[in-house]
Structure 1
Amino acid sequence: MTEIAHLPQPAGYTIAYCHTPASGPTQSPGIVFCGGFRSDMTGTKAIALEQAALATGRGFTRFDYFAHGASPGDFAQGSIGRWLEDTLAILDRVTQDANQGAQILVGSSMGGWLATLAALKRPERVAGLVLIAPALDFTEDLLLATLTPEQRAALERDGVYREPSHYSEQPYEFHWHLIAEGRQHLLLGKPIALPCPVRILQGMQDPDVPWQHALRIAESIAQPDTHLTLIKDGDHRLSRPQDIDLLVETVLGL
């Protein structure tokens, strides 16, 4: 497995990342994997894409946002804006320093939101987007909008809301700071003028991001070359062998 390196950030913390430079044609875009909320760069999808990139000579980068995985930090201080800055730092200083060209950004769940924001911020650096169960605007549309009045009052009063996780014994913690800061980065409700082809993979049995949310995203993207693939028996992770095969095929197809 690729050795972990650490990229210093101006705010005083470091971002853990693994980068493999391209060994094939220099004009081929590299691949950057953006993980989900509370996930890390050692997940099944990231490793499978790394192996596919190695096999085809493409550059590949995976990383952990602030307070995720091997990157230090207090999770309560995390925000969409801070994690976007981490994504842009990887794009600007890791793939750029390695003389890579444009990148294909692969974003899973919250990483889909961050990858989309990064593509809007750095249109000249992004050759394509692959969004897996993309959770654009999840702080408002998939979290806050689903709370009962009592839960919302508790969140505003206590500053944190805890919800059982499907994937861990530890509950998810959502901090009011995350929601309030996330409002600066909301995308839905207006056209999303993306500069590159977009591919969306969405499970229809996803308990966290409903497939209707992915459809709304596809409708909002003002990019003709946008394809939405619905996997009827797919869950949120889309990490089964057949899901991984589809992901690799989709990424390499761009």
Structure 2
Amino acid sequence: MSEYLETPGGRRIAFQRSNGRGPGVVFLGGFKSDMTGTKAAWLHDWARERNRAFLRFDYSGHGDSSGCFEEGSIGDWLGDARDVIHALTDGPQVLVGSSMGGWIALLLARAMPQRVAGLVTIAAAPDFTQQGFWAGFNDAQRDTLMRAGRVELPSDYSDQPYVITRRLIEDGRDHLVMNQPLRLPFPVRMLQGTADEDVPADWAVRLLDHATGDDIRLTLVKGADHRFSTPECLQLIAASIDDVLA
């Protein structure tokens, strides 16, 4: 059953958590996904079985939280994540970031490293608004975006198109992580499927090359897609969290 946090910015953020020992685990979902997804729900059960504190939540405009998705931006969702971690967790946390959540996790690690015990990313998509959407737009789409403030893209996961806004693109440029030093002074485990059609495997390799830290590892899983939700993939996520906690 979801609970709700009223943030200082006036957003109503839906969350589910279970108490347990620390460091706790915080799941950060992807673009237009919510906390009822396979990975988030499975990891919550996994944490409960081990008496490990766990938190999952919906960014504003996602799932049961307040707000309109199309009005949101990376900065907004980063703010939501920062607010729930400050309000609902104690001490350093292991951040588990899926797709866009991987970008959010990296931004949190940069902004509040003292609250991060470790990082597990799953098909991390840092800077995807720029190196994914903007770089992939043709001239007509870029013109439409700048003139109309939005462009619609087909979605592989829904009948509804993705609406990409000018605000999302421009705000994303204010939160890039691949264009400046990225120090990760804690254990980091990056997971990436080779059959991922949304986040290319070479993004994971570039992130590995770009980040600096004493304990950073990348695991490529042959044939795994962007969902990364097969039983084998879920077990690998859990093993990676255990590795970070150890």
What is the TM-score of this pair, normalised by structure 1?
Answer: 0.93
> What is the aligned partner in structure 2 of residue 10 from structure 1?
8
> What is the aligned partner in structure 2 of residue 19 from structure 1?
17
| Paired residues of 1:189 and 1:220 also in contact (CA < 8 A) | no
Gaps of 5+ in 2: none
Is the partner of 1:249 in helix, strand or coil?
helix
1:92-241 matches, within 5 Å, as: 92-96=86-90, 101-241=91-231
Q: CA RMSD in A?
A: 1.0
What is the TM-score of this pair, normalised by structure 2?
Answer: 0.96
| Paired residues of 1:30 and 1:59 also in contact (CA < 8 A) | yes
Aligned length: 244
Are 1:57 and 2:51 matched, yes or no?
yes
| Paired residues of 1:88 and 1:118 also in contact (CA < 8 A) | yes
Q: Percent identity?
A: 46
Following superposition, the deviation at residue 87 of structure 1 comes to 0.4
**Alpha-carbon separation, structure 2, partners of 1:104 and 1:183:** 26
Following superposition, the deviation at residue 224 of structure 1 comes to 2.4
Are 1:76 and 2:70 matched, yes or no?
yes
**Alpha-carbon separation, structure 2, partners of 1:224 and 1:232:** 26
Structure with the largest fraction of strand: 2
The residue type paired with residue 4 of structure 2 is H
Is the partner of 2:133 in helix, strand or coil?
helix
**Alpha-carbon separation, structure 1, partners of 2:140 and 2:222:** 34
**Alpha-carbon separation, structure 1, partners of 2:215 and 2:243:** 13
**Alpha-carbon separation, structure 2, partners of 1:43 and 1:251:** 18
| Paired residues of 1:113 and 1:137 also in contact (CA < 8 A) | yes
The residue type paired with residue 6 of structure 1 is Y
Further displaced range: 243-252 or 31-40? 243-252
Following superposition, the deviation at residue 130 of structure 1 comes to 0.4
Following superposition, the deviation at residue 135 of structure 1 comes to 0.6
> What is the aligned partner in structure 2 of residue 243 from structure 1?
233
> What is the aligned partner in structure 2 of residue 33 from structure 1?
27
- CA shift digits 1:43-67 (9 cap, x unpaired): 0000111111011110000000000
**Alpha-carbon separation, structure 2, partners of 1:130 and 1:180:** 27
Gaps of 5+ in 1: none
Following superposition, the deviation at residue 125 of structure 1 comes to 1.0
| Paired residues of 2:98 and 2:123 also in contact (CA < 8 A) | yes
> What is the aligned partner in structure 2 of residue 45 from structure 1?
39
The residue type paired with residue 48 of structure 1 is W
- CA shift digits 1:8-37 (9 cap, x unpaired): 012222110011111xxx4x3110000000
| Paired residues of 1:14 and 1:72 also in contact (CA < 8 A) | yes
**Alpha-carbon separation, structure 1, partners of 2:105 and 2:94:** 10
